[in-house]
Amino acid sequence: MHAFSLLGIALVAAPVMAFAQTDEIQVYDAQIAGRGVFNLMVHNNFTPRGRKTPAFPLAIVPDRSLNGASEWAYGVTDWFEQGLYLPVYSISRSNGATLNGFKLRELFVRPHASDHTLFYGVNFEFSYNARYWEPKRVTSEVRPIIGLHLHPVDIIVNPILDTVYDGFKNLDFAPATRIAYNFSSNWLIAAEEYADYGPLHQFHSVSDQYHEFYGVVDHSSKSVNIEFGAGFGLTAASDKVTLKLMLSRDLHRFSK
């Protein structure tokens, strides 16, 4: 698959992470919009108890900030979805209402992932950032996806690598993990963990790593899919409490 040949190209460098804010708190499960389907997902994350100092000069302060994005997606084939995050935005006490840039997303997956016990994929994101959102204007993410549908349990791992194109040895390891229990086709609960260990060549000390644990509820219906979660920081470098809400629905089918 062309996606995996792109992996080496995209992984040319990565940042020394400063644990800035994020617009998206999600574990990818390799499900994509159907072929010819246009989808919108709105992400909103609020941090009622967060870090009170900026991660870098002039950065948005996490405490009591709202961060989000509108994620537009189109199912090109049964194995490829094209995405655009626009706008990416924040409302914070430190910076007020801000537009934080935009992202392009290329997601390649095993077709019809929900039908298979083993599923996999890889996602590439290319970001252009405001200076108060990230210390670098251009950043990227490579997100491998691997998971198991064990009915009724799902186990999913996204071993994410972040990059600011400053050297392969500096690739930043920021994995996301999800274990879900499906009560029905419409309801599930999940435990998720989001982490940032730091650059591959030298992980940060445990107290300086970012680790947050989330309890999540998902509900799907014909009109809208809803995911709500509450996260709790496990280290001093993490936000104490973060709430996330994701709303998504298919908007239009352009082909049969």
The CATH number linked to 30 is 2.40.160.40
State which residues form the domain around 95: 2-15+23-253
Residues 6+ apart with CB under 8 A from 61: 50, 51, 52, 53, 54, 92, 93, 94, 95
Rama region for 29: left / alpha / beta (φ>0; ψ in -120 to 50; rest): alpha
* pLDDT recorded at residue 78: 97
The structure tokens listed for 43 are: 């992400």
| Burial category of 53 from C-beta neighbours within 10 Å (exposed 0-12, middle 13-18, buried 19 and up) | exposed
| Contact assessment for residue 139 and residue 124, using Cβ atoms and an 8 Å cutoff | no
**CA–CA gap between residue 176 and residue 159 (Å, rounded):** 6
DSSP label at residue 190: E
Number of domains in the chain: 1
Split at pLDDT 50, 70, 90, the class of 9 is very low
Whole-angstrom Cα Rg for the chain: 17
* pLDDT recorded at residue 167: 85
* pLDDT recorded at residue 6: 44
* pLDDT recorded at residue 252: 79
* pLDDT recorded at residue 21: 74
Split at pLDDT 50, 70, 90, the class of 198 is very high
